[in-house]
Every structure is written in C-alpha cells, then in structure tokens.
Amino acid sequence: MARSYYTRFATLAAIAALLASCASAPPPPRPPERPIAPVLPPTLNEAIDFASDDLFVQMLRLPAMTAPAKGGARAAAVVVVDALIDGVTGQQTKAAEYVQQRLVDRIRGGFPQVVVRPASSATVDGAQYLLVGTISRAPEGANLEHFKLNLSLTDIRSGFVIAQAASRVRDPGVDTTPTAFYRDVPTNTKDRIVDGYIKTAETPAGGVADAVYLQGVPTASVLNEAIGAYNAGRYDDAYNHYKVAASRPDGQQLRVLNGLYLASEKLGRRSEAETAFGRIVALGLATNNLGMMILFRPGSTEFATDAGFSEQYPMWLRQIAVEAVKTGGCLQVIGHTSKTGAEAYNDRLSLQRALTIKRRLEIESRDLVNKVQASGVGWRETLVGIGTDDARDAPDRRVEFKRRPC
C-alpha cells in the first residue's frame, strides 16, 4: 500500500511539474500585423515606408519565418536588390535611386531578421530572396504629382513571388530625371528582360516571377556594377563590367551594348564605339525594337546641337544604313514628338523629322532608295507624356526604325 501511494504521489507530482512548466513557457510570438494603407495618396517618403514595411511583414508572416528554428537561433534571411527602375521607360531615374536607398535604410533599421544588399556579382550567389521595384507616373495622365510604387520579393530558388506591396504617391518632388547612363544612351533599352523585371515587380504574392528575367539575374548583377561605375565616371571599370556582361550567354542585351558603346566613346576608343553601335542597331532591327534618341531643335527638323552625343549622329545614321541593307527588305522610319503644342502641328512635325532621317539614310546608301518609308505619329505614342522637352521626356522625342516587307 505504501509503495502504491508513493508511486501515485510521485506520478501526480511529475504531472503537476510538467503542467507548471508548460504554463510558465511563453507562447510563440504572434506574426506582426500588416500596416494599414494610407487613406489619402501619401508623399514619396510615406509611400516608401508603408510599402517596405508591408512587404517585409508579409515575408515575416510566412510559415518558413514563423516556424521554430532548428538547432538554435534562425539565420537572417539574405535579400538582394536589383536596381529599381521607372515602370514605363525601364530607365533608372533619380527617383528610383532615391526609393532604393530609403528602402534599404528602412529594412536595415526595422527588420533585424533580414540582411539586405544591392545585387552584384559578389552578392547574388548566396542570396535567398530578390527584391525588385518600380516607381512610375500613375495612369491618371501627365499630372506631375501622381505616381505608383510597386515592390515585390521573390524566392530565388522556387521562382515564386512571396510578397508584393504597392502604393499610390502624390508628391511634386519626385525627380524623374534619368541617371547618367540612361541620360546618355543613344537608344531605348527596354527589352524582353526589362519587361520581365517590371512584370515581376507587379506580380501579386503567390504568383510566379518572370522566368526570362529571373534567369538573367546573374547578368543583371554585373550590369548593376557597370551602370554604377558609369554613373560615377569610372569609365574603365564600366567598360570592363560591360565586357564581362557581353561575354555571358544572355549578354546580348540593349543595356549591355549601349554600355559598351558609351564607355568606349568616353574612353576615346572610337573604332570600338562604332562597332558596338553597329551591334546595337543589328539587335534592335532583328527584334524590331530600335528607338533612337536623335533629338531635334524645338519646332525644327534640324538636329539639336546641345544633345550630349549629337556629333555622333552621322555615325549613327551610317550604321543604321549599313545594318538596314544587311537585313534586306524595307525600313519604316517613325517620328515622334513630345506632348507640347497642337496635335495636328505635332503630326506634321514628326512626319517632317522622319522624312529628314529617310533622306539622310538614302544618302548614306543608294541601296535604300525607294526602300525607306517615313511616317509621323506626333505625340500619340508618348511614353512619359509630361511635355517638358528635357532629359525626362527624351524618349517621347525618339525616332523609331522598324523592318517591314517591301
């Protein structure tokens, strides 16, 4: 009897101790709540802070982040940031640069569970997650104050977008001036890979990142280094990075070839620059995606002499003529104008400018006579649409070249 009593007593004591230990154990931490979106369109700083907080709270609420860590403390999640861009033109702007820096500072200050680094050849291999984002004028029109910010986080291994945040912005201080590289590029740089970046930034959580873009992230990391060096005036470094990017299987991109041209030109390597420009034209015509920043004086068919590379226009036209003859067929030259002045006036002006280019090409090569057609669309196909006639809306004043059947 005594043994049975003491056995039961010991068992009850053990159960009581176990219950006491369970009662005293702290409950698992609750996932953080997502921030409430502003009712009114916020300023740019407010929008960045809200969107970055929302993005990373979504990340911290995932089962992989809330489950108990095995074998001790959980290692910090490693995130790399591919350079933010304008969601319409595909260019890096002063606003995109500013958003990225404030975003990185916000993450480092508020999310100790995360290590965030700019994407580069040294950081991209060990990263778990990829952050991309766009800041662009909102579809309300040419209002200088209305923008849209998009951010997304992708699990690099699986390709799934694990979090996405967006915010409207109303702020007259948003600076859409392109950074140095994009200010200087002679052609559009928005191609299939850039389109994939923009699509990924806008993909809701649970969707799949654009496969072509995601596959090209290692090359994009080299491009980030090249563009950063160019923007800082380190043209030798920029040239070397562009050469590395161009040597990769997916390196035949408009951004890479434009970079080789610009860096070679800055270094005084004129022969290399012309060769690189010919490759830009060949790729642009092959993909029917060649929009040239051949700029004219306001209201005129004369070339602007204050454009950064206007002295290179004769070489540009020579290479366009050479490559157009190589491709065979015929060529369509399409003139565009910025959104200033009357529509009918701009239609005529854009056509006159296209005719000017047509005549110059026919002078460069007699093989193009009767094979070049000129047309003008005025400002009906603007990309930026703000009518400032400066670096911010230079893409609106482009001249496009497209192959067509004869």
E runs forming strands in 285-404: 290-292, 330-335, 372-376, 399-404
Beta strand pairing call for 77-81 and 129-137: parallel
Q: Which pTM value belongs to this model?
A: 0.89
Alpha helix locations (H) across 1-62?
Answer: 2-24, 44-60
Domain spans of the chain? 44-180+187-201, 216-283, 288-406
CATH of the domain spanning 288-406: 3.30.1330.60
Edge to edge, what strands does the sheet with 146-155 contain? 114-118, 77-81, 129-137, 146-155, 161-170
CATH architecture of 216-283: Alpha Horseshoe (1.25)
Among the listed residues 201, 147, 139, the one whose alpha carbon sits nearest the alpha carbon of residue 174: 147
Alpha helix locations (H) across 30-92?
Answer: 44-60, 63-66
The one-digit pLDDT tens for each residue of the chain (406 residues) are 444 444 444 454 554 454 455 544 455 556 678 889 888 889 999 999 999 999 999 999 998 887 776 766 678 899 999 999 999 999 999 999 999 999 999 999 999 999 999 999 999 998 999 999 999 998 755 567 899 999 999 999 999 999 999 999 999 999 999 999 999 999 999 999 999 999 999 999 999 999 999 999 999 999 999 999 999 999 999 999 999 999 999 999 999 999 999 999 999 999 999 999 999 999 999 999 999 999 998 889 999 887 677 899 999 999 999 999 999 899 999 999 998 889 999 999 999 999 999 999 999 999 999 999 999 999 999 988 888 888 888 899 999 999 999 8
For domain 44-180+187-201, the CATH class is alpha beta
DSSP of 186-234, one letter per residue?
SB----HHHHHHHHHHTPPTTSB--HHHHHTHHHHHHHHHHHHHHHTT-
Beta strand pairing call for 161-170 and 77-81: unpaired
Separation of alpha carbons 298 and 296, rounded Å:
6
